[in-house]
Amino acid sequence: QGALNNKAPVEMQEKVHPLGVFEGMRVIMSETFDVQGGFDDVYRIFLVDTPIGPYFDAFLRECDREKDEMARAGIETSQVGSILTKQDLEIMKATLKKAWLEDFNSFVQGLGGTTAEVMGHMLNMEADFRVLLVTMNALNTSLSTESKLQDRNALYPSFGYLYPEGTKELRKVWNDTTVRAALEPYSKYLALFDQVKQFYEAESGEAGTRSSTSFQSIEDLIYAENVHMYEMAFEQQYHFG
User: Per residue in 157-196, pLDDT tens?
Assistant: 999 999 999 999 999 999 989 999 999 999 999 999 999 9
- Average pLDDT over the chain, rounded to whole? 81
In the chain the first and final C-alpha atoms are separated, in Å, by 32
Task: Write b or e for each residue in 18-29: b if 16 or more Cβ atoms lie within 10 A of its Cβ, otherwise e.
Answer: eeeeeebbebbb
| Whole-model pTM over 0.85 | no
Under a CB-based contact definition with an 8 Å cutoff, are residues 135 and 183 in contact? Answer: no
Residue 121's Cβ-side half-sphere holds a number of Cα atoms within 13 Å equal to 16
CA atoms of 25 and 37, how far apart (whole Å): 16
Task: Write b or e for each residue in 55-70: b if 16 or more Cβ atoms lie within 10 A of its Cβ, otherwise e.
Answer: bbeebbbebbeeeeee
Under a CB-based contact definition with an 8 Å cutoff, are residues 59 and 95 in contact? Answer: yes
